[in-house]
Structures are given as C-alpha cells and as structure tokens.
Structure 1
Amino acid sequence: MRLQDIAKLAGVSPATVSRVFSHHPNIRKDVREHVFAIAKAHNYHPRLSTKQRNVVIILPGDEIYPIRTCLEMVMMALTFVLPKHGFRIEVLPQDNIERLDSIQFCGAVAIGAEPDDFKKWSDRFSAPLVLVDRDAPANSPNVYSVRSDEAKGMELAIGHLYERGCRKIGCIIHGMAGTGNADIRRTSVAKALKSRKLPSDGLIQLSRDDNYVEIIGKLLRQNVDSLFCPGGNAGIVTAYALSLFNKRVPEDISLIASEHKLYSCYATPPQTTITQDHIGLAEIAANVIDSHLEKSRLPQRSVLQYSLIARDSVKSLDS
C-alpha cells in the first residue's frame, strides 16, 4: 500500500494525504479524519519526515496531576534531553489539546496524563505519543509508556525503614483513589508491610494538599515511629507538619519522602528519599520518537527502577 493508493481510496490528492500525515494546519477536520480512517483500515503507517523535529510536551491540569514537583523534574529532564537529540520543543496544556490538529510535530510526550484521555490517539495521529509515569491504553499502537516501577519503589522505602529498626510505619500517599499512581502505591506499601509482619490498618492514608497536616496528626496519635511520604512536595509539607507537633526528625520520628532537587538535600536534617530516574525516562521518550522517524520500533512499555538516597532523616532504632 502506497501513499498514492490511500489518496485514491480517500478521493483526495496525494499532496492532501501528505499534508494530513504531516499535520498541516490547513486541512479540514473531516478530511483529516477520513484519510486517517482509510489508512487505519488498510494498516498503512506513513513514514514520518526526519526533517520535522518538533516534539509537543503535553502538560496536565491541576485537577489531573496535582503533584507539581514530579511534573517539574520530568519537564526539566525532557528540556535537557530532547534538544540533544535534535528536537525542538513546544509546550501544550492538556485542556488545549485540540490545537494538535494545527501543529506540525513528529512526536508528543504527555506527563502524568490519564491513559483514557488518549485512547483515540492512534486514530487521529501517525506520530508517536509517550506517556510518562502512566501505562498506555490498550489497542493503541502509537502510544508508548515509560514509567518507574512503583511497587519496587515502595518496597525500597519500607525495606530501608525496617532495616533501621522501624516497626510501626505510617504512610501518606499524595493523591486520591482511582487517580494517578495512588492505588498502586497504597497496594504496594500494604504488601511490603505485610511481608514483614508489620501493622497496616489505619496506617496507610491517601491525602490531598488541604488535609495533609491533619492526617499526620492522626498517624502521630497512633504512635508511629516513622513516616513514608511519597509524592510531590511531601517532604516539605511533612517537615512543616512535624514541627507543628513538636516532633524532631529523626530523634522523635524517622522520615522518607520523594526526592525534591531543590529541597531534600538542603532540609534540616537532609532527607532520605526515593527518586525516579528522570533523565532515563526522558532518554527513552526521545529514543521512542527517534525510532519512529527511522521506521523502527522500541518496546511499547519501558519500566525504570527507583533508587534510594540515604541521608540523615532515618534513625537507627537498633543501636
């Protein structure tokens, strides 16, 4: 099947088909959708132009992805890595995603977006989409996932606290049930506690920004000896909340949070954290787009490991 064959079946000129596949802005929506439907029906995948090096970074709204710190760290990694691969960057808020129909681009990267929002991506665009920190929707051949192993990350933190003698670990997970990574983190923390025969009832809490301090107070009343607070600005907020309750880290309570490049190592005391490989995530995203331009394919799902940065916020209770 050639481009000329798609044009004949669609009843348009080869030049029009070429403009559709290059996302030219001066193509009517009905024509664009018709050409893509013909191409999909005949399993035709156009060759993307290697001269077109524009990558769109799609940023979520607060209601979808409230954890701004991770968003910022992934964004910093992408703006560092993509230009090294020769890509130009355009940033687009997800609530303005209809603009993609008028932008010429060879690939897109969405940070922390919900997969259901992109179920029809492969029907609309020939360019690849890389979802960072989320799984790709089913039956979407041009949608890729690059994420960190949340289960292993939660295990890493709980294991470190356990090795230091902590036996009643409270956990506050930023986010709400059914959104983002909240559910998999909660399940993974519960599994890590259970495998060590540690209590979990009432000790694993989901939290919004506006009730974080209140939940820390509830956990302290249960006499936890440590806190694990993955996600976003949790390290900053937790340190502040503990100061309100006159609790010192690590003398009174140990703490592990998510890495915050501008805070974690400068906190008092410097915080032990788990961290994603943000540069690694960005490199895979760039490689996926490169592979499409070269008419090859990488695995549709890539998973990177968390690492633990041990600093001074965890006290050894065995000593």
Structure 2
Amino acid sequence: MEYRQLGRSGLKVPALSFGAGTFGGQGPLFSAWGDTGVAEARRIVDISLEAGVTLFDTADVYSNGASEEILGQALEGRRERALISTKLGLPVGEGPLDAGSSRLRLVRGVEAALKRLRTDRIDLLQLHAFDAATPVEETLAALHDLVAAGKVLYVGASNFSGWQLMKSLAAADRHGWPRYVAHQAYYSLVGRDYEWELMPLGLDQGVGAMVWSPLGWGRLTGRIRRGQPLPKISRLHETADYGPPVDDERLYRVVDALDEVAAETGRSLPQIAINWLLRRPTVSSVIIGARNEEQLRQNLGAVGWSLTPEQVARLDAASAVTPAYPHYPYWREGGFKAVNPPPV
C-alpha cells in the first residue's frame, strides 16, 4: 500500500481508506448500503489492516451512530494500528441543537463519538457540511480547543464549496487555529466538478482530497450498461435520489472507455476507475466501501499497478464535460488557459 501526506500536514494516510457507511444498516439510505454487523466488520478490518488500509472513515449520521459503534468494537485490541476519521455537522435529530457546527454541537458531538468509537481521540475530525448559521470563527475556535485537549488530532472539511473552504482557511490563519488539512469530496470519472475550483484550491492551500463515492454512487461497477435495465440488485433503486446525478449518455461513454481499458489490462471496471483517481492532483486517499469480503478484495485490487498515459487520456476524454462559468474559459486553449492553466 502506498502512503501519502494528507494535504500539507505531517499525517501519512494510505492511498485507499475504508468507508464504514456499510456498518449498521439502519434507516432507508444506509440499510441500502449494507448491514454489516460486528463479526463481519472485524473480518473486514482484518483484511484491510493486512492490506495496509489503516484509515477507517465513518460519521455520526451513518446508521444513527451504529456505524461508529460497530467500527469501535471491530477495532478493539488494535486501535493503535488504525486511524479513525469521523464526521459531524449534519442533523442527528429534530431538535435545534442537533445539527450544525456550533461550539455546543461540536463538543457534544465529539464526546458522543468518542464513546461510540471506544477511543480517547479522533485522528481526523471532518465537518460533514458547511454551517452557514454559525460564524466560522466560533467553529474553528471550538476545533482549536478540541485539538488542544487531545480529543482531536487533525481537522478537515467535507462537501464545502470553494469560498466556504477558503474563508475557513483564512480565518484559521488569521487566528492561529488548526487548518483543515483534508477535504472529503465527491470525485469520480462521472463526477469531475471537483477539478474546477476545489482541486486548484487544494493545491494552493495544501488541502488533501479524501474522495468519497469513487464509483459514481455505484454506477461504475460494470453492471449498468447501454440498452439494459437497471439490475434488480442495484442499490440505485433505493438511493439514486440521495446521490449526485449523472447524465446517462455520459455514463455509457465512460463505461465504454472503461471496457476498452479493462480488455487491455485484465482489470475490473471499479479497479480502473479507482486507479484513475489515484493519479489525480491533490488526492490523498480514495475511500472504498464494501458490503462483504469479496467486494473489499476486489476494490483492493485498484492499487499496485498503473494505467498508461494513453489509457488515462482516453478516460479523460470520455469523461470530460465543459465546466460552468467562470471556470470554462480556463479549460480552453487560448489566453485564459495560458495565464491560469488547469492542474495537471
């Protein structure tokens, strides 16, 4: 397993990390993701650690906290071999104090997560979404205190826009508070919006990407194809409305290109899609999920080999879209691109 710096921090993380959203199986969304219990979670953790996947990502909203609880139990006896990343900020109840990134919500949320995870610290705490109702100074000051108390070691963001992330980084620099070293963001061959603004920002500010849903919300498994109905066992039947939309024709174009590369490499479509991501600028770790041992071992096959430059160019072309304004002038040949080239 390759290990990479998480942004401009001293923390080294594996190129692949494990997403524990499949642990628990509670609620309409997460029950469709998976219902892994403690025994199977222990087996998945065993396989992950053996392969060098030492970072495990979860969140307080995953299965109403059951994901954190199961992960904590699965890591008992080998906590020091693992890095735990969790997220908070999304609603966990109906009350006025059950959502957001206020000082009260952060302190309460961290204390509750520590108990569920059966640990004395969170290695990486990420805000699950930007809280527009709370001043960034209040949020960052609370995170500073949690870091100073040793309950959190590193902080990051998730699903922020460019201005939200940059405003937070500027405030952290101004007051000497901990900076976000990670941004957990959606990025895939059928979802390349991350490249337009967040990737250049990450390069400039030293923020590493932790990629969620690298298979485009389950669309790049190879089971969804042109002219065929959605497979009966696809989780998209229950979860499509929760995830990022994808134009059908673009999806089929990408799958066609993946099929070509698969024939040349002998690799599966998911392995190729993940390997492509691992070559992209700012990507520190790609979060893989699995409902069982077979899926996990399949996804682990995404590392240890490399696509050729020609294959990468083919996948780039098949998945390319014109960015929205004001980004699109910089992606065309000419004056704009000359003075502000896109990340390579």
Could you say whether these structures have the same fold, taking a TM-score greater than 0.5 normalized by the shorter chain as the test? no
Instruction: Return the index of the structure with the highest Cα Rg.
Output: 1
Q: TM-score, normalised by structure 2?
A: 0.29
Q: TM-score, normalised by structure 1?
A: 0.30
